[in-house]
Chain A
């Protein structure tokens, strides 16, 4: 299987339910006309939930090269985009936490610490934004496929130790960031309607491109 979606095991149902539940809770902000429009958009998006084109996108992620996501994905709505981006961040946070438990390599541990801190910062910003916009991030097949792949990879990495784990973790970080960055650049950012969401995704892409380069440097030093 190609090492495309290769992060750690994120417990999908609990984390997603908790995430969505928080947004639906008492802190949810009642918004104005624009937000109501977004709410309608979310409703429409639910009807498209099983979009065949998104399913094709998942298959592309899992089975083909990173560019396939852009070539095959339909246009996700803002609620789906928010969920995909948040999910991708959570996956890398969990991967970093696994690395911090297993690795003794200073370079790898520093990288994992950076990943955990940065992705938490971006996801906190994303949570604040969706609350402000009164958008409920919508679970979708892309998010599910990402989470499934991550869980599988986590299981695989759990069986490795020492230098073998370090190499597998960092190689996967390179591939995972490349895949997510391609998806952001070619699909998620162009599809985002809300300007603030688009801005956050654009900033996120620059941060994650930095992560990809950082991971490539660490991978080079591990050889």
Chain B
């Protein structure tokens, strides 16, 4: 009986993890005209943020918390996976007039 319950628990856990993985979304943000578009996005823990640079110069997406700092070459892409909830403010180190934020929920 205990073994059956344990097996059921493991199965349920795997199902939850599988669903969580299947639910994880990719949120795309353009870097265009020296701005993030959209500048504010919402996402969930486990989602991936993907920046697509349409400008002629390189940009960064740099979290003010220091959690991540990605460089995106012209016409290139780069991404980060969100690991915890909260609001992340970020900017471009090379052009600090570029600012954005990500509201991350569970």
Give chain A's interface residues, CB within 8 Å of chain B.
114, 117-118, 121-122, 125, 203, 206-207, 209-211, 213-214, 217
Q: Mark B89-101, 1 if CB is under 8 A from A, else 0.
A: 0001111111000
Residue B40 lies at the interface, judged by CB distance under 8 Å to chain A: no
Number of residues in B with C-beta < 8 Å to the partner? 15
Q: Which residue of the partner chain A has the closest CB to B98?
A: A210
**Chain B 74-103 against A: per-residue CB contact (8 Å), 1 yes, 0 no?**
100000000000000000111111100000
Q: Tell whether, in the assembled complex, residue B94 and residue A214 are in contact, meaning their CB atoms are under 8 Å apart.
A: yes
Q: A210 vs B31: C-alpha distance in the bound complex, in angstroms?
A: 14
Q: How far is the CA of A117 from the CA of B58 in the complex (A)?
A: 9
CB-defined contacts of B92 to chain A, threshold 8 Å: 210
Set of chain B residues within 8 Å of A217, measured between Cβ atoms: 96
Given contacts A213-B97, A214-B95, A214-B96, contact A206 B34 (CB under 8 A): yes
Asked whether, in the complex, the Cβ of B96 is within 8 Å of the Cβ of A117, the reply is no
Cβ-defined contact, B97 with A118, below 8 A: no
CA distance A207 to B55 in the complex (A): 10
Chain A residue with the shortest CB-CB distance to B32? A203
- In the complex, are the beta carbons of A118 and B33 less than 8 A apart? no
Nearest 9 pairs of A and B residues by beta carbon: A210-B95, A206-B34, A213-B96, A118-B57, A210-B97, A121-B56, A121-B57, A114-B94, A209-B97
Residues A213 and B95 in contact, CB atoms below 8 Å apart: yes
Contact of B95 among A117, A121, A125, A211 (CB under 8 A): A211
Q: How would you classify the secondary structure of chain B's contact residues: helix, strand, loop or mixed?
A: loop
Determine whether the beta carbon of B98 is less than 8 Å from that of A125.
Answer: no
Q: Is the CB of A203 within 8 A of B97?
A: no
Chain A residue numbers with a CB within 8 Å of B93 are: 214
Q: CA A217 – CA B92 in complex, angstroms?
A: 13
What residue in chain A is nearest B93 (Cβ atoms)?
A: A214
Task: Identify the closest chain A residue to B58 (Cβ).
Answer: A117
Find out whether the CB atom of A118 lies under 8 angstroms from the CB atom of B94.
yes
Given A122-B56, A122-B57, A203 contacting B94 (CB threshold 8 A): no
Given A207-B55, A214-B93, 7 more pairs with CB closer than 8 A = A121-B74, A125-B56, A203-B55, A206-B33, A206-B35, A207-B57, A210-B97
Contacts between chains A and B (CB distance < 8 A), count: 44
Evaluate contact between A206 and B97: CB separation under 8 angstroms: yes
Closest B residue to A205 by beta carbon equals B34
Compute how far the CA of A210 lies from the CA of B96 in the bound complex, rounded to whole angstroms: 6
Determine the distance from Cα of A211 to Cα of B97 in the docked complex, in whole angstroms.
Answer: 9
Q: How far is A217 from B95 in the complex, measured between Cα atoms in Å?
A: 11
| Closest chain B residue, CB of each to CB of A114 | B94
Residues of chain A contacted by B97 (CB below 8 angstroms): 206, 209-210, 213
**B96 with A207: CB separation less than 8 A:** no
| Cα-based distance from A209 to B34 in the complex (angstroms) | 10
A-facing mask of B1-24, CB < 8 A → 1, else 0?
A: 000000000000000000000000
In the complex, which residues of chain B have a beta carbon less than 8 angstroms from the beta carbon of A117?
57-58
- The answer on a CB contact under 8 Å between B34 and A203 is yes
Q: Chain B's nearest CB lies how many Å from the CB of A79?
A: 22
Given A121-B57, A122-B56, A125-B56, are A210 and B34 also a contact pair (CB < 8 Å)?
yes
